[in-house]
Amino acid sequence: MKSCQENLTQYAAYHRDRRNIATHFAGVPMIVFAIILALATIAFPVGPVVITVATATSIGLVAYYLVLDRVLGVTMAIVMFLFCAGASEISARFSTGATLGLASVIFVVGWVLQFLGHKYEGMKPAFFDDAKQLLIGPLFVCAEAFFMLGGRQELRRYVEARVGPTVARRDGAPLTPGQPATH
């Protein structure tokens, strides 16, 4: 299994343009919430408790993030708890059809933002080369939030030493001088 640093570096190689990262700050949470919202409509009893597929999925995802990095994993646990709570409230108040319709709209808008960001970047999304990067996207956004707030600077230095710093406009330019860009 790749380390947190390796996973984030691989993801960051496709995300150095600040405009792309900005679209990911909205798009990635929208996509994750839309999936959680849709999965909140499916529940099964476990003894006296009813568990939604959203809860089970969130627990699995958070466990993976905790293995990769404790601080980012705990932060993602809080986010996923809030997403599950919000999804639970929405799915309790609306019909299954309305809930799934809302989830679909949020999901599509989130992906539109993602692809807009990659147009700015001049690069294809990371998951085109490695589907596992779909799981790393939320962790990347979490890490970038820490970086913006001055936290996890050692992790930031590790990533930037390998793929370079974020730039105002990349437009498909190589990450380091003399290297071809990967489209």
Structural domain boundaries of the chain?
4-161
Positive or negative, the Cα torsion across 66, 72, 74, 75?
A: negative
Positive or negative, the Cα torsion across 8, 11, 14, 18?
A: negative
Q: What pLDDT digit, counting tens, does each position of 30-69 carry?
A: 999 999 999 999 999 999 999 999 999 999 999 999 999 9
| Residue 27, both tokens | 């798009």
End-to-end CA distance of the chain: 26
Q: What pLDDT digit, counting tens, does each position of 141-168 carry?
A: 999 999 999 999 999 999 999 998 877 7
| DSSP bridge pairs for 45 | 50
Q: Are 29 and 36 in contact (CB under 8 A)?
A: no
* C-alpha–C-alpha distance, residues 36 and 53, integer Å: 8
DSSP state letter for 166:
-
Computed over every residue of the chain, the mean pLDDT equals: 92
Residues present in the chain in total = 183
Q: Are 12 and 144 in contact (CB under 8 A)?
A: no
Place of tokens 């936290």: 151
Q: Which pLDDT band, with edges at 50, 70 and 90, does 171 fall under?
A: low
Residue 182: predicted pLDDT? 47
Residue 90: predicted pLDDT? 98
Q: pTM for the whole thing?
A: 0.90
Residue 169: predicted pLDDT? 77
Percent of the chain clearing pLDDT 90 (strictly above): 82
The Cα diameter of the chain in Å comes to 62
* C-alpha–C-alpha distance, residues 9 and 4, integer Å: 8
What one-letter code names the amino acid at 103?
A
Q: Which pLDDT band, with edges at 50, 70 and 90, does 174 fall under?
A: low
Percent of the chain clearing pLDDT 70 (strictly above): 92
Average pLDDT over every residue of 93-121: 96
Q: Are 14 and 90 in contact (CB under 8 A)?
A: no
Indicate whether 17 pLDDT > 70. Answer: yes
Residue 176: predicted pLDDT? 55
